[in-house]
Structure 1
Amino acid sequence: MADTLGNIQRRRFLHQPGIVLKTVVLTLLVLLILLPLARTVLFTLQPDVIGAWTDVLTGRLSTNLFYKPLGNTLIIGAVVASGCVFLGGFLAWLVVMTDVPYRRLIGVMATLPFMIPSFAAALAWGSLFRNDRVGGQIGWLQGMGLQIPDWLAWGLVPTLIVLTLHYFSLAFTIIAAALATVNSDLVEAAQIAGAKGHRLLTGIILPVTTPALVAAGSLCFAGAVSNFATPALLGLPVRMQTLSTRLFGMIEVGQVGRGYVIGILLVLISGVVLWAGNRIVSGRRSYATITGKGGRAKRFNLRGARWPLFALAMIPLFASTVVPVIVLIASSLAPSSADLFSGWTSHYWIGESDPSFAQGIPGIAHNADIVRALMVTLALGLSVALTGMMIGLLASYTTARFREGWMSAAITQISFLPLLVPGIAFGAAYIVYLGAPIGPFPALYGTFALLVIAGTAYLLPFSVQTGRAVIQQVGGELEESARLTGAGFFRRLMAITVPLAVRGLAAGGILIFVKIVRDLSLVVLLFTPTMPVLSVLAYRYASEGFAQFANAITVVILAISIAATLIANRLQTKSQPWLKD
């Protein structure tokens, strides 16, 4: 009888709608996301490794291992988050709520910095402001005779500036979307009561957009504390450590236990900040700004301040977009950063090996290592885009078509978990997970497969979000009709869903391609000489003093990223006609 009841329960379980698909997707997500993180924690609890927790938190070296880097990390996170909210909020207010000239130009330029790798801006900063404190080449400004102080060339201040100019576009996007929903009734009522512009801003607009401000600040904080490239390029030469650079350094010198402990603590810090931001946002839901009546409020009339505010807005926009690109291109042609705009040479691009020039390193076109890295990077981008979109489409299809049950909720939560994990900590987790043999499966460290699997898992939140948008475009009645005719799941997916949403899928895949091509923090620990990628190669050249080669490689990454982004935008515009003018 018990066996019969057990069989009945199993049959009922297996006959639940979508249960097989849910099981497959949930298993994939557990293997890709949960197990790497769990194995990292378990690794640090082994008897011969558990002492790393004491070393990092309470040992005699804990100040240098953890607490000083923690202090720098928190300062960077707090200052960058505040600066991004202020700058992004100011630009969003100008674009959405004022009559500032060229609003569309400001809006487009304000979204570009986040598409440019942070290490590109850091390299450009070095080409301009580098002084002779750590030896090697000096920057253009000191080459012109200006004495650049150490605090402006290296360390905390340039790191804060570069990261703020990189992440403010994220805050701009979030805050602008919130400002666009501000109910006109609120503003018009205050105007009738005689409130002036500054009173409207501080009394109505800021309070009702508080959730967006908090969300933008928490995301920028999490991004800044987990960033590796900028503090590594601008801080490590003067021994300024953050948790991300300390994690990298520990694993580089073989102290993996301490490195993994620091990685776990970094994940906890990022997770707590994002959780706190979500709690604050969820607690402010009483600020309803969209109702069934009312239209868009009239824009604030800036009067004589229109052009001064436009000029003020263009300063950070040019500094974060135009200037880095110009400097990187010029530096890839100049024999020395001290003389940035004269004596240009094409050697760093097409020159052959010459012992009397650049220590015999050939230009990009003749450099076998760089050419191989380009091929590996392109293959990695295409592979991660393909695998990421396949898994993302399956996960989003499952949660959209079969919403009931704990498995759907678990799929949703797990698929977005990588957002809480800094890239360098995620890379470290995959070294623990797949860096050693597992049963009959060989170690994958140093292989292309490890890069693809780690990249796919890390970018799953973006692929799931894209897949969700695709599924929403296809009516469920189409698949239901096909199911009634006997078409199976994969037949319905490939014959209906994918063809109808192919442009959206392609656009999402291209954006994932761009993210992995320009990523450094995830792949910096997975890099090996036999499996190089462009971003890490650029970082290595910069660290070794070959700034021109680093900048030339970065220009190649920028060209690939910009071209792919333009293609994605083109596809999205064609698939969504409302995006056209």
Structure 2
Amino acid sequence: MPWRHRARLALAHPATLLGLILIAVFGYLIVAPVISMLLGAIQVGFGDDVRTGSPAGSFTSYYLERVFASPVADIIFYEPLRNTLLLALGAIVTALAIGVPVAWLLARTDLPARRWFSTALIVPYMLPAWTFALAWTTIFKNRRIGGAPGWFEAAGLTPPDWLAYGPVPILIIFTMHFVPFVILLTTNAIKNVPDDLSEAAQVLGASSALRTRKIILPLLTPAVLSAATLIFAKALGEFGVAYVLGTPAGFSVLSTTLYQAIGTQQPGVAAVVAAVMVVLGAASVYVDVRFLKEMKRFATVSGRGMRGVPQRLGWRRIPALAAVSALFTASVLVPLGVLALSTVMRVPGRFEWSNVTLDYWIGHDLPTVGFADGILVNPKTWESAWNTIWMVGIAAIAAGVLGMLVGYVVSRAPARWLGTTLRAVTFMPYLVPGIAFAVAILSLFAVQRGPIPALYGTSLLLIIVMIADEMPFASRAGSSAMMQLGREPEEAAQTLGAGWLTRMRRIVLPIQRNALASAILLPFVSGVQGLSLVIILATPGTQLLTTLSMNLVDNGYTHAANGVVIIICAVALAGTWAAKKLFRADLSSGLGS
């Protein structure tokens, strides 16, 4: 029968077997942890049998009732949920309000130095979000909440509590971090807005404001909605900013509540909260995909009406340049400058030469218990740096190679369902906020299951979770690269008797070496600065630079924490620069919509 013949041909193709193996691997590394986490919300955990009145492993509604209907439900869930949603929505509004006009200035006007600003203004997106939180506390914290004076208080000006900690500074920092994301997502859409539509409206007497409201903004709807939904998903799982600026003031969001539930040995409660975060994240991506299907209604690239002449700003050039320069100063120069200065001051906020010291970098026997040597001469720094480099490096290489293999299956497998299934499975970590995905991984690998031992506290677990978390990017990069590679080179080698491994090693991967290198390097940059994903899984023996910095924050060693963050920023920026120079992976050209 024809279907039997097609089945035999499909099974004979190496992409079929490879696809089945990858589905099994990613099913266990990605799907199984999420399912295990969801089951943890309705099954009695070990040690909770007395509390729930049921044996471990049995089904229970205890955790659901505690999170949704107990006397403490408002504290552990509803209040953090409200805070999370309000911050996310506020960040969407403010980031779009700033990012879209700036993207227009960069893409369609004669703004001075706009090419330079196109790269400079996306630097905050390359840095950890909590970089800005640490800089904020260095300037604005007060003794009343922070326990130590910031620069303003040292100068005799005590900032109010609402400015030092809580939702206001968190929202400001979210905005600074997400404005570059809006610029990246809307730049190409703005470039594709045809001039003839606006010119026709202008001939008919429409004012500039009316043309913007009736023509330009509607054409940007897909890009704006995509940016809004993805900002929501990112804000949902952001941990570091809310932890640094919210926890001292008792302001909690879902990510910090989840972290506290794990820290207080409440895995069932953590599973319920994580499940809610997964649902919210999946809903935001669904909205994004749903609107992307409608993008044809907004098509503007038709071969007519496009023009490369920038719009002249006239007398507005100077104000526009001043505004863009102020944005760069506030989002890049000030945060990094504050962090750097804080590491060379004996007394915070005293700007005198006599107060300058390098002890925090190269000194010994400092009055900081547990971190008594300077950052550059402290073995904990180098141990964490080495752990970061080799763990993230292995994870990035593995993710890049696996992403290319996924792309091979998507483009070559005779059975379409293999590629479709792989794309869906490898995209799943994007639906799950980082800290929730860490809880999912922990729920599966915390105990021995069959032949697979318990991995908590091992470097292997961190590598596994970083590989899985980078697969949405790596698989998309691999699919795009492999789709552009014709079958002819591989078929010619097959005709000459080359086996599949030989073809991959001698032909496919060498041709795709730039795509592979980019798919390795960019996940490396992302992994170096990642915190939400590893904060729960790292232990003293598997400390990374990000978790070391958070531990220093917990101990009140702000100068040391800031110094470690500077190192992280340097590695992230160097990696991004290398990606641009070596593999032409230039973010400043825009991610499209």
Q: Same fold (TM over 0.5)?
A: yes
Higher deviation after alignment, 373-382 or 517-526: 373-382
Report SS of the residue matched to 1:235.
Answer: helix
Segments of structure 2 that go 5 or more residues without pairing to the other structure are 45-53, 55-59
Counterpart-to-counterpart distance in 2, 1:340 and 1:504: 48
**Is residue 121 of structure 1 aligned with residue 132 of structure 2?**
yes
Instruction: Identify the residue that residue 95 of structure 1 maps to in structure 2.
Output: 106
Using the TM superposition, give the Cα deviation of residue 17 of structure 1 relative to its aligned residue in structure 2, in angstroms: 7.1
The one of 152, 175, 178 equivalent to 1:164 is: 175
Instruction: Identify the residue that residue 567 of structure 1 maps to in structure 2.
Output: 578
Letter in 1 for 2:208: G
| Shift in CA distance, 39/360, structure 1 to aligned 2, threshold 3 Å | closer
Instruction: Identify the residue that residue 352 of structure 1 maps to in structure 2.
Output: 364
Instruction: Identify the residue that residue 459 of structure 1 maps to in structure 2.
Output: 470
Instruction: Identify the residue that residue 324 of structure 2 maps to in structure 1.
Output: 313
Instruction: Identify the residue that residue 47 of structure 2 maps to in structure 1.
Output: none
Counterpart-to-counterpart distance in 2, 1:544 and 1:482: 60
| Shift in CA distance, 565/57, structure 1 to aligned 2, threshold 3 Å | same
Instruction: Identify the residue that residue 274 of structure 1 maps to in structure 2.
Output: 285
Using the TM superposition, give the Cα deviation of residue 127 of structure 1 relative to its aligned residue in structure 2, in angstroms: 0.7
The one of 23, 28, 38 equivalent to 1:26 is: 23
Counterpart-to-counterpart distance in 1, 2:348 and 2:506: 56
| Shift in CA distance, 90/9, structure 1 to aligned 2, threshold 3 Å | closer
CA distances 1:68-120 after superposition (whole Å, capped 9, x unpaired): 00000000100001111111101111111222222112211221111010111
| Shift in CA distance, 304/242, structure 1 to aligned 2, threshold 3 Å | same
Using the TM superposition, give the Cα deviation of residue 448 of structure 1 relative to its aligned residue in structure 2, in angstroms: 0.6
Using the TM superposition, give the Cα deviation of residue 473 of structure 1 relative to its aligned residue in structure 2, in angstroms: 4.9
Segments of structure 1 that go 5 or more residues without pairing to the other structure are none
**Is residue 264 of structure 1 aligned with residue 261 of structure 2?**
no
Instruction: Identify the residue that residue 219 of structure 1 maps to in structure 2.
Output: 230
Match runs of 1:30-49 below 5 Å: 30-47=27-44, 48=54
Report SS of the residue matched to 1:337.
Answer: coil
Counterpart-to-counterpart distance in 1, 2:544 and 2:426: 26
Using the TM superposition, give the Cα deviation of residue 13 of structure 1 relative to its aligned residue in structure 2, in angstroms: 5.4
The one of 77, 92, 112 equivalent to 2:123 is: 112
Using the TM superposition, give the Cα deviation of residue 195 of structure 1 relative to its aligned residue in structure 2, in angstroms: 3.0
Q: What TM-score comes out, normalization by structure 2 length? A: 0.92
Contact 2:83 2:253 in 1 (8 A): yes
Higher deviation after alignment, 239-248 or 429-438: 429-438
Using the TM superposition, give the Cα deviation of residue 371 of structure 1 relative to its aligned residue in structure 2, in angstroms: 1.8
Letter in 2 for 1:520: L
Letter in 2 for 1:460: M
Instruction: Identify the residue that residue 185 of structure 1 maps to in structure 2.
Output: 196
Instruction: Identify the residue that residue 57 of structure 2 maps to in structure 1.
Output: none
Contact 1:184 1:297 in 2 (8 A): no
| Shift in CA distance, 339/485, structure 1 to aligned 2, threshold 3 Å | same
Counterpart-to-counterpart distance in 2, 1:77 and 1:94: 25
Letter in 1 for 2:115: R
Counterpart-to-counterpart distance in 2, 1:563 and 1:309: 30
Instruction: Identify the residue that residue 307 of structure 2 maps to in structure 1.
Output: 296
Segments ≥4 residues shifted beyond 6 Å? 4-10, 357-360
Counterpart-to-counterpart distance in 1, 2:201 and 2:310: 14
CA RMSD of aligned residues (A): 2.3
Letter in 1 for 2:409: T
**Is residue 401 of structure 1 aligned with residue 384 of structure 2?**
no
Letter in 2 for 1:450: L
**Is residue 476 of structure 1 aligned with residue 487 of structure 2?**
yes
The one of 185, 188, 193 equivalent to 1:174 is: 185
Higher deviation after alignment, 445-454 or 405-414: 405-414
Counterpart-to-counterpart distance in 2, 1:481 and 1:368: 54
Contact 1:330 1:341 in 2 (8 A): no
Q: What TM-score comes out, normalization by structure 1 length? A: 0.94
Report SS of the residue matched to 2:192.
Answer: coil
Contact 1:187 1:297 in 2 (8 A): no
**Is residue 201 of structure 1 aligned with residue 212 of structure 2?**
yes
Letter in 2 for 1:202: R
Contact 2:109 2:312 in 1 (8 A): yes
Counterpart-to-counterpart distance in 1, 2:290 and 2:548: 40
